[in-house]
Structure 1
Amino acid sequence: MSHHAERFAAATRASGGALRLAELPFLAQVNVRLEPKGPAANAVGLTLGFPLPLEPNTVARGGELAALWLGPDEWLVVGPPGTQAEIEARLREAIGDEHAAVVDVSSQRTTLLVAGARAGEVLAHGCSLDLHPRSFGAGRCAQTTLARAQVVLVPRDELKPGFWVLVRSSFASYLADWLLDAASEYTNGLDAQAR
């Protein structure tokens, strides 16, 4: 994805501040599977400093960590780059002998940032979700498709409009090209000219 960094930066400049595209590489991503109301869930909540979200498609946050609800017994814990081994070890220690699975999946996906006032409009070109903040705002997440690629979409908070787009590494380059194309109406066709 490093070859997209310059194109992302140029598109961001050309948008006049309406849009920011970037990769947030190497975020820690640890998948957690366990009984949501069992002792392992309580132990994980104590270790993270906040309980795992139990409502579908929601996010819980504390400090530099976020826990994304992916399914009735599945979460993705996201943290700063390079902290995956520490997060995984802390969670495994907290769970102890309880029935659960904790797996580092950091290499499975990368995270693209689509931010700014036009972020939702750009994503709407390829996503069927209603991305308006009243329907899909801070504290929400969804596994969905964006331009036919499976992603986990996470709105940022109200002070920083935009989204994290967690995409499998094998689709990252394709999705980056698609985002640049979808953003071209806000960047005066800059990326179309760059090709």
Structure 2
Amino acid sequence: MTVDAVEEPFRTQLTVRLREGHALLGVDLPGPCGFTAGNGIEILWMGPDEYLVLAGPGRQAELEAALSRESGVLAVVDVSAQRNVFRLTGAHAADVLAHGCSIDLESSPPGTCVQTLLARTGIVLMVREDGFTILVRQSFSDYFTAWLADASREYVS
């Protein structure tokens, strides 16, 4: 199999608005269109003062409380139910995404994080060493998985 798609259910997702700061929970903040990782979390740049903190399932209350104590934090909102998270790996993962995404994935290094459209569906796309993580709104999840199955058909044996 040259493409593998796996859903990562129940991931903790917290939107954080900042007044100022260079780190959250001991992890450096990413620059524009990037993400950083450490201490069991990932921080995605979503806008000039907005970040998305991703973590394993069930960590909402713990991380929300810790983030509320950080200096410079204006707001923390649990958006875990807003998006489903998928991991796409394999030799042809970028080829599958190219069927519906205008981002040049060949020139996007690992650590890139962008909000874009994939087959007319708004997504957050994270470029990793071993593939991609895709965050898609829950209401588009069925459409996205059907599109993904169709787009990857030629790469699956």
Q: Structure 2 length normalisation: TM-score?
A: 0.94
Of residues 138, 144, 149, the one that matches 2:110 is 138
Identity of aligned residues (%): 48
Displaced runs of 4+ in structure 1, greater than 6 A?
A: none
Q: CA deviation at 1:63?
A: 2.8
SS in 2 for 1:103: strand
Could you list the runs of 5+ residues in structure 1 that have no partner in the other structure? 1-15, 189-195
Of residues 115, 119, 127, the one that matches 1:155 is 127
Q: CA deviation at 1:52?
A: 1.4
| Counterpart-to-counterpart distance in 2, 1:68 and 1:99 | 15
| Counterpart-to-counterpart distance in 2, 1:137 and 1:20 | 20
Report the structure, 1 or 2, having the larger helix content. 1
Q: Structure 1 length normalisation: TM-score?
A: 0.77
Of the two, which has the highest radius of gyration? Answer: 1
| Counterpart-to-counterpart distance in 2, 1:69 and 1:79 | 15
1:50 aligned onto 2:27: yes
Structure 1 counterpart of 2:137, which letter? R
Of residues 74, 77, 80, the one that matches 2:53 is 77
Once the two structures are superposed, residues 155-190 of structure 1 have per-residue CA deviations (whole angstroms, 9 ceiling, x without a partner) of 12x2xx2111000100011000000000001125xx
What is the aligned-residue RMSD (CA, Å)? 1.4
| Counterpart-to-counterpart distance in 2, 1:162 and 1:50 | 22
Structure 2 counterpart of 1:182, which letter? A
Q: CA deviation at 1:138?
A: 1.2
Once the two structures are superposed, residues 114-157 of structure 1 have per-residue CA deviations (whole angstroms, 9 ceiling, x without a partner) of 1111100000000000011xx2121110000001000000012x
Could you list the runs of 5+ residues in structure 2 that have no partner in the other structure? none
| Counterpart-to-counterpart distance in 2, 1:102 and 1:155 | 25
| Counterpart-to-counterpart distance in 1, 2:73 and 2:96 | 42
